[in-house]
Amino acid sequence: MERSPTILYVDDDEALVRLIQRGLSRRGYGVEGATTIEDGLARLAKGDIDVVALDHFLATGTGMEFLAAMATTPSRPPVVYVTAADDITVAVEALKAGAADYVPKVVGEDFLELLRRAMDQALRVGRLQRERERAERETREALELAEARLHEMNHRVANSLTLVSAMVRMQASRMTDRTAVAALSQVEARIAAIGGVHRLLYTSGDVKSVDMHNYVTRLITELDETSRRPGLSITAEIPDNIKISTDKAVSVGVLVTELVTNAVKYAYPEAGGEIRVRLRPVAERRIELAVEDDGVGWNGAALAKGTGIGSRLIAAMAMSLGATVRYGDGPGCSVMTAFDI
């Protein structure tokens, strides 16, 4: 059985409080009284108060002070402010301070009826507020659960890709055919690029976007360590304020891997040199990726060396970003693509 709504009536006029108790109890309300700010707040802290009727003048202060003290009360009930009949300024200030309604204090049954109507309205407001808070809480909990599961999924995917990468590396170590070893090394690098995105997603608080400074810098470090080319250096110039969605980060990672791997293999056949990776904003919500070297040069028009799989992957990743690949005129090789984030 649903309990009767409980009103806390805060007023230093004890006789009026008793009158209100008798009058509203006949209308299905339970009424409890308090004459001071301290007593009212103490009763409020115990809970089960559905609405507060608050007089302006109290024994130890004003209703405005009571309203201010209620500001830190979790799930505080709605407040009906009781003012002198001709004091509209106080009523306006009370509404600004958080009161749901106000009632002018008049003589006789009119006041009781005005108060009852205001209480009914305040109870409806309070019920809607509690329903909204419950819906917000349930939504927040559902989002937190979804994010936790997404973190776990990214963790598992990253671990699985690490395992696959290790298996590919083990297979390559047992082969003697240089072409096969090189192909498997490229496969391993591609897996590592994708795995790096998932690793960043489960180690950060953001599961929707990837910090490109952290991701690309880490990816370049891994590519530099695995190139095993004396005198060759791979550098990165990545601002620390660029974030893009997960799917686009994967495409960028594969693009960087393919372009850097190609430069490692073909840019400096006789000696070492530098490979530069840049990511920079070129317009609002648009960035450009560039991979450059000072080697033998290639403008994208000549026949691709090797199997051509890398070139097809580069074109596919650029297409997934809604971009096209452009080649500079040299010296060396400069590959650029710009896309929206």
Q: Where are the domains of the chain?
A: 6-138, 144-340
| Per-residue model confidence as pLDDT tens for the chain (341 residues) | 456 788 899 988 888 888 888 888 888 888 888 888 899 889 888 888 888 988 888 888 888 999 888 887 777 888 999 887 677 888 888 888 888 888 888 776 788 888 888 888 888 887 888 788 888 888 888 877 767 766 676 667 677 767 777 787 788 788 888 778 777 777 777 777 777 766 766 667 677 788 888 888 888 888 887 766 778 888 999 998 888 888 888 888 888 888 988 888 888 888 788 999 999 999 888 999 999 999 888 776 665 565 667 788 888 888 989 998 898 877 889 999 999 98
pTM: 0.54
Give the largest Cα separation in the chain, rounded.
104
Give dist(CA 322, CA 207) in Å, integer: 23
Q: Give the CATH superfamily of 6-138.
A: Response regulator (3.40.50.2300)
Domain 144-340, second-level architecture: 2-Layer Sandwich (3.30)
> Encoding tokens for residue 144?
């937190």
Residue 18 contacts by C-beta under 8 Å, 6 or more apart in sequence? 33
> Pairing mode, if any, of strands 233-237 and 274-283?
parallel
Coil, strand, or helix at residue 330? coil
Q: How many CA atoms lie within 13 A of 95 on its CB side?
A: 10
Verify cis geometry, omega within 30 degrees of 0, for the bond prior to 331. yes
Length of the chain: 341
Supply the Cα-derived Rg of the chain in whole angstroms. Answer: 35
